Structures are given as structure tokens and as C-alpha cells.
Amino acid sequence: MSLTDPGTSPPSVSSVTVPPTSSERFSLYHNDNNFIGAGFENQIKDSQRCSILQGSNNTISGKYNCHIIGDYIGIEGITDVRDNSFHVGCYNGMDVWGQLSIKRGGLEIAGGGGGQVSYAIIDLKNDKNKDFDIRIQQGDSINQSENDLYIFSPSAYPDDSSTPLTNLHVHGDVIAYAFSDQRIKDDIEILPDCLDKILAVDAVQFNWSDKQNTYVGHDIGLIAQQVQSIAPEIVTERSDGYLAMKYEKMVPLLVGAIQDQQKIINEMRAEIDELKSKINH
């Protein structure tokens, strides 16, 4: 974008492709183009193309293209308040009766406090630095991915056992399909001794202890330590030291065990048929 000479007219809207930088913004025009629409104790200083609509006790200082609706908002060179931004100070909330689209940047929903975030945060308490209830973001600072979505506590990393793990509860169905195409698998082999592996695992019933806060009451399942001994690939140790497993990965073992069992049944049938044939003759 070429800067307009101070003695010329401002560029047309169609010719401006990117917002000016902090060093450029005050050299664009002679006219500040600021606007305060009613209200009281509102002020805009050292800024351009900014506005305050109604409200009270609002201040915009040293900003470009910032706008305020409501009360008690101060935008005065704070590092996490950028140029080209819109601010609503309505302490009883804001209702949107149509579609709300966020084309660029991040979204923060907080019960109090606030701060700059990269992606999306839902904070149902007050202090964003201490007590996130849940964080949803792209990448988890360890396994960054361009497309994956992570839900976790901010410090719930594999080397941090001090932060409680974040669980996801859904009062409905979770429908998903996992990668399983043969074309993305190398070195394919039949699982050996599936029946023996399944027979080494106990189907148990139990009551959940108070050493965790995810489940309560009576339940059925498997013991992760037993599963780890037959299929360590589907068991992992969490940051709190407890073992967890992918239950769906037991399906291949069960399929293999049924096939192994069917082979035994077929062999026994063949022997029985042979014995019957000898008896009848």
C-alpha cells in the first residue's frame, strides 16, 4: 500500500488493501476522522478513524480504527488491544439475533478477566491465568497440528502431573470414522495368538474409587495392566500416572480370537465327522 502525501486526498476504500502500520497511520490524513456520538466523559485523543457511540467514561488513545459501544472501556496503547478493533462494554450481556461470523483472529468467552488468545477459550470462572475450565485450540504446544482440534487444561501436558486432566462429556452420540484404509497401512500382518491374548484378560465388574473424579458407581470393563501385557500399543500412561486404553482397539483382538476359535471348532468337526464315518462302517 502506498502512503498518501499529507497534502493530497485520502485513498479510496477500494485502493486500501491492508491496514496501515502504527508508524504509518498518523501520516495518512490531516483529518483525524474521529467521532463521539453522545454519552458523557468520553474522549478520543491521538487517534484516527475511531468512534465512541453513547456510553460513558470511555477513552481511546493512540489507536487507529478502533470503536466502542457501551461504558468504561479504556483503549490506551495496551499491547493486547490492537488497531482495527471493536469493543462492547455492556455489563448485562449482548444478544445477537442473527448470524455472528468471525472471519479472522480468535474468540474468547470469559466470565471475567480477559486477555489476548490465539484461538478459542471458554473460561467459566474469572482468572484466565489460573483456572480455565476448558480450553479448545488448534495444537497443544507439543503436538502442533494445522488441522487438529485439542480440548485440554492449559498445563495438561505429558510432563505436568499437577494439572487435572480435561474430560469431555457429551449427552448425545459422538459419530466419527477412523482411518482404516489399506492404502495407508504398511507391513500388514495377521495378529498371532489372538485367542490366547483374549483369554489372558479378565472381564470384570467394579466400583470406581474416589482417586479420580470422572466416574462414579458400579461399572464393567477391563484392567489396563492386563491389556498392556498383551497389547501395549493400545495402553498409555497419562500425566497423572494412571493407565488408560483405547477400548475400540480390542475389536481386532476379538475378531482374531473368534477366527482362532472357529479354526478349533472346524478341526473338531472334522475329527467328529471322521469318527462318525469309521463307526458307521
Model confidence over 75-128: pLDDT tens digits?
Answer: 887 666 678 888 998 877 788 888 877 766 666 655 544 444 444 455 444 444
> Is 228 domain-assigned?
yes
Domain membership flag for residue 141? yes
Q: Which residue has the cell 454519552?
A: 39
Phi and psi at residue 14, to the nearest 5°:
-70, -25
Please state the domain count of the chain.
3
239 and 195 part of one domain: yes
Do 82 and 108 lie in one domain? The reply is no
Q: Check whether residue 35 and residue 63 sit in a common domain.
A: yes
Residue 23 domain-assigned?
yes
- Say if pTM beats, i.e. exceeds, 0.85: no
Question: Under DSSP, is residue 69 helix (H, G, I), strand (E, B) or coil?
Answer: strand
Same domain, 199 and 255: yes
φ/ψ of residue 25, rounded to 5: -60, -35
Question: In this structure, is residue 108 part of a structural domain?
Answer: yes
Is residue 242 included in any domain, yes or no? yes
10 part of a folded domain = yes
One domain, residues 108 and 81: no
**Does residue 155 sit in the same domain as residue 240?**
no
Asked if the structure places residue 66 within a domain, the reply is yes
In a domain, 176, yes or no: no
Report CA dihedral (39, 45, 50, 52) to the nearest 10 degrees. Answer: -10
Q: Which of 138, 167, 196 represents a domain boundary (last residue)?
A: 167
Residue with cell 487438529: 148
Quick: pLDDT tens for 208-221: 999 988 899 999 99
Residue-number span of the structural domain to which 218 is assigned: 187-261
Residues 136 and 149 sit within 8 Å (Cβ to Cβ): yes
Q: Please tell me which of 38-47, 225-234, 238-247 the model is most confident about, judged by mean pLDDT.
A: 225-234
**Whether residues 84 and 121 fall in one domain:** no
- Give Cα 90 to chain centroid, integer Å: 28
**Each residue of 259-274: pLDDT tens digit?**
999 999 999 999 999 9
Residue 121: other Cβ atoms inside 10 A = 21
The identity of residue 22, as a single letter, is S
Q: Same domain for 10 and 85?
A: yes
Same structural domain, 3 and 83? yes
One domain, residues 108 and 49: no
Cα-based torsion angle of the residue sequence 224, 228, 234, 238 in order, rounded to the nearest 10 degrees: 60
Residues 85 and 7 in one domain: yes
Task: Name the DSSP letter for residue 200.
Answer: T
Same domain (yes/no): 73, 118: no
Q: Tens of pLDDT along 6-27?
A: 444 444 444 445 555 544 555 5
